Amino acid sequence: MKPSRKDTSIVLIDIQYNGSLNAFEEFYGENVSYQELEQSSYVEFKDLIFRKINKNIKFRKHERIGKVLTLRAYLLENEIRKISRILEKGEINLMYGWIVTNITKLKGKLLEEFKENNSEEDFNS
């Protein structure tokens, strides 16, 4: 486990395949599962962020709704700005066609709801 970092914010990052499930199945066929490539894309995304921003960022899979995988990251304010700039410049290109579709910094009511619905371990970085 990575050491705790003070003053981090919880940020939710959504990644998903850049296309429909039908398009995925047509392209990849039955040889590979959606979950396999999703996992590879998750690892690739983390590695890219570690290289470009900071290797001490803590990531966790948060939840999946449909074909969207939501990641939970504990980021410092300057790291949030760096990720935003990288996305704006189009520098996040994952190998299997996964893309970042949303980034949400939890604050105010969203953060309080997260704390109510998750264990203390989930929101202490």
DSSP for residue 118 = S
CATH 3.30.70 is right for the domain spanning 9-123? yes
| pLDDT tens digits along 91-100 | 898 989 999 9
- Which pLDDT value is given to residue 119? 63
DSSP string, 8-24: -EEEEEEEEESS-HHHH
- Which pLDDT value is given to residue 5? 77
- Which pLDDT value is given to residue 64? 92
- Which pLDDT value is given to residue 26? 92
Q: Which residues contact 61 (CB under 8 A, 6 or more apart)?
A: 42, 69, 70, 71, 72
Instruction: Using the predicted structure, report yes or no on whether residue 54 has a pLDDT greater than 50.
Output: yes
- pTM (2 decimals)? 0.83
| pLDDT tens digits along 16-42 | 999 998 999 999 988 899 999 999 999
Sketch the domain layout of the chain as residue ranges: 9-123
DSSP string, 18-59: SS-HHHHHHHHTTSS-HHHHHHHHHHHHHHHHHHHT-TT-EE
Contact assessment for residue 44 and residue 95, using Cβ atoms and an 8 Å cutoff:
yes
Backbone CA torsion sign across 28, 31, 33, 39 = negative
